Amino acid sequence: MPAVPAETDFVVVGGGIAGLRAAIGLADAGRVLVVSKQEVTESNTQYAQGGIAVALSDDDEVGLHLQDTIEAGDGLVNVEAARVLVEEGPRRIQELIDWGTQFDRSGSRLTFTREGAHSRSRILHAHGDSTGREIGRALVAKARTLENVQFTEFEFTAGLCSDGDRVIGVSLLSPDGKQHVVSSRAVLLATGGAGQVYSDTTNPGVATGDGIAMAYRAGAMIADMEFFQFHPTALSLPEAPRFLLSEALRGEGALLLNPAGQRFMPRYHTLAELAPRDVVARAIVTEIANSSVVPDVCYLDLRHLDPAQVRERFPRIYVTCKQYGVDISTDLVPVRPAAHYLMGGIKTDLSGRSTIAGLYAAGETACTGVHGANRLASNSLLEGLVFGARAADAMRTQSGTTTARKSVEPSSSTSEVTSLSDLKCEFRREMWERAGVVRSGNSLKQLISDISGWQAAVPAIATRESIELQNLLLVGKLVAESALAREESRGAHFRSDFPQRDDASFRKHSVVTNGTVSFQ
């Protein structure tokens, strides 16, 4: 890799779909540095299986996609953001095709499938169940043809640099422990999600909420952190990771069975297995809690489908499950919910601008309100594509100094802990128990108190392990504090002590800044 420059025009932190699309859009406006803490290919985008939603089929309309997005968001969708998403989506998909993205086709026609809460078959997929990986491949290939785009891998972004009024760079931590600053006209945070705050998650290890934590420390507003989407169906085996079992499985006809082997979703929603994700996740948790059968899992059942078609449609899922002794075409597949997608994040406008000058955000790390309280399936990749492009358009006009003076990084006590990994494991378990699919006021208050203690215990040392843990703890605290403040149940946020939706008091977005949660 080329040496990391001390100065550039634009810094893009993150190599997923939002960051890559932004980098491509910025390339003819100046030098672009794309920073990733692992390989550029290691991001949530690479793990997105089901597909990307877009109104392109003959029987679909942009208006129907908008309506489905609004309905899934349970009363909190920013309608203007959603309109931008669905109206600009077709053009961005055509760009991907022009840049070599190989979506699955039947002959010369694109193939569309259906997923939960969609009224039409509008999900494009690639290589069956490797959509994110294929889009990422095409975007990286396109970006590498652009002379002004430079990639740097295995550089950890430790903090943002500021001149007091605006963000003008980033502080990086190299694998050898050396810190250095890159000054820039503007910074885009496209660091993805924060699933690693939970013990059970479909997210890769890099999803530690770094962008949200950095922005918050710098003084940016953070919004809707209580809305963490739990995917209903992650593989649940003792020695296996919580591997995502795409909603597309249910779109193709897979059924859900409870621990006793009985189908149950028709009792919870008229759409049964294709109900919104929050409904399905809570139904699975309820069925497990009400059962005395061991193990405490539900099951995906594809046994009634054509085995050859299942293997062809879901090759990656089939091979992965086989590695753990489960044949999805002939066996019941044990599943439980897992943390999957954060609807909240850095509060931005529709062009990716945060509340701090010079700082932009796009993709899962940002919050435009486009998903409301519950993201519609397969809208996430489209969000990164559309708003990554819009952020680039806004950043192109950003001008100013490129001499960084102040680094905003985490601070903590000098207390020593026996093991950061032990603390991290305890924190993630408690997040799952107290701020997971079902929450309550008392458990959230205890969790917040515990997190404060853990934050004080992390030593103030400039290592990736220490800073990542501080980021996780901060993001977890923001989730818990926002969940405690929202005394209702809506979308992905369910309070057992406030089980009803309360539009009169809470049909608003939560905003956290300087330690205070408010509703706007």
Whether the pLDDT of residue 246 is over 60: the answer is yes
Res 454: pLDDT? 95
pLDDT band at 229 (very low <50, low <70, confident <90, very high): very high
Structural domain harbouring 514: 410-519
- Examine residue 395 and state whether it is found in any structural domain, yes or no: no
Separation of first and last alpha carbons in the chain? 45
One-character DSSP codes across 67-128: HHHHHHTTT---HHHHHHHHHHHHHHHHHHHHTT----EETTEEPEE--TT-SS--EE-STT
Cα distances (angstroms) measured from residue 13 to each of 58, 343, 441: 38, 19, 35
- pLDDT value for 404: 47
- Tell me how crowded residue 319 is: count the other CB atoms within 10 A of its CB: 11
Residue 309 belongs to some domain of the structure: yes
The values of phi and psi at residue 424, to 5°, are -60, -45
- Does residue 272 lie in a domain region? yes
* Final residue in a domain of this structure, among 304, 322, 337: 337
Q: Does a structural domain hold residue 256?
A: yes
Select the highest-mean-pLDDT range: 174-178, 252-256, 275-279, 401-405.
252-256
Rounded to the nearest 5°, which phi and psi values hold at 181?
Answer: -110, 140
pLDDT > 70? residue 120: yes
**333 and 434 housed in the same domain:** no
Q: What is the CATH number of the domain that holds 296?
A: 3.90.700.10
CATH code of 440's domain: 1.20.58.100
| Percentage, residues of the chain above pLDDT 70 | 94
Query: How many independent structural domains does the chain possess?
Result: 2
Share of the chain above pLDDT 90, in %: 81
Query: Would 367 be classed as within a structural domain?
Result: no
Q: What is the mean pLDDT of the chain?
A: 92
Collapsed DSSP state (helix, strand, coil) of residue 517: strand
Query: Is pLDDT at 182 greater than 90 in this prediction?
Result: yes
Contact 35, 13 (CB under 8 A): yes
**Residue 269 identity (one-letter amino acid):** H
* Dist. CA 287–CA 126, nearest whole Å: 34
The secondary structure of 306-369 as a DSSP string is -HHHHHHH-HHHHHHHHHTT--TTTS-EEEEEEEEEES-EEE--TT-B-SSBTEEE-GGGEE-S
Tell me which of 400 and 200 has the higher pLDDT.
Answer: 200
Q: Give the pLDDT of residue 45.
A: 60
Given 290, 308, 337, the domain boundary residue is 337
- Confidence band, pLDDT 50/70/90 cuts, at residue 42: low
Residue 310 included in any domain: yes
The angle formed by the CA atoms of residues 10, 387 and 477, to the nearest 5 degrees, is: 85
Q: Is 277 annotated in the active site?
A: yes
DSSP 269-309: -TTGGGS-HHHHHHHHHHHHHT---SS--EEEE-TTS-HHH
Same domain membership, residue 418 and residue 327: no
Is position 426 within any domain? Answer: yes
Q: How far is 20 from 149, CA to CA, in rounded Å?
A: 10
pLDDT exceeds 50 at position 437: yes
| pLDDT over 60 at 51, yes or no | yes
Query: Does residue 150 register a pLDDT over 90?
Result: yes
Which is catalytic among the residues 277, 282, 375, 486? 277
The torsion angles phi and psi of 134, rounded to 5 degrees, stand at -70, -40
In a domain, 133, yes or no: no
Question: Which carries the bigger pLDDT value, residue 130 or residue 299?
Answer: 299
320 with 420, same domain: the answer is: no
How many other CB atoms are there within 10 angstroms of residue 411's CB atom?
8
Residue 416 shares a structural domain with residue 509: yes
Contact 99, 142 (CB under 8 A): yes
Of 285, 313, 337, which one is at a domain's C-terminal end? 337
Query: How do residues 11-28 score in pLDDT, each as one tens digit?
Result: 999 999 999 999 999 999
Contacts of 152 (CB under 8 A, 6+ apart): 1, 2, 4, 33, 34, 35, 36
Residues 414 and 515 placed together within one structural domain of the fold: yes
What pLDDT shows up at residue 470? Answer: 96
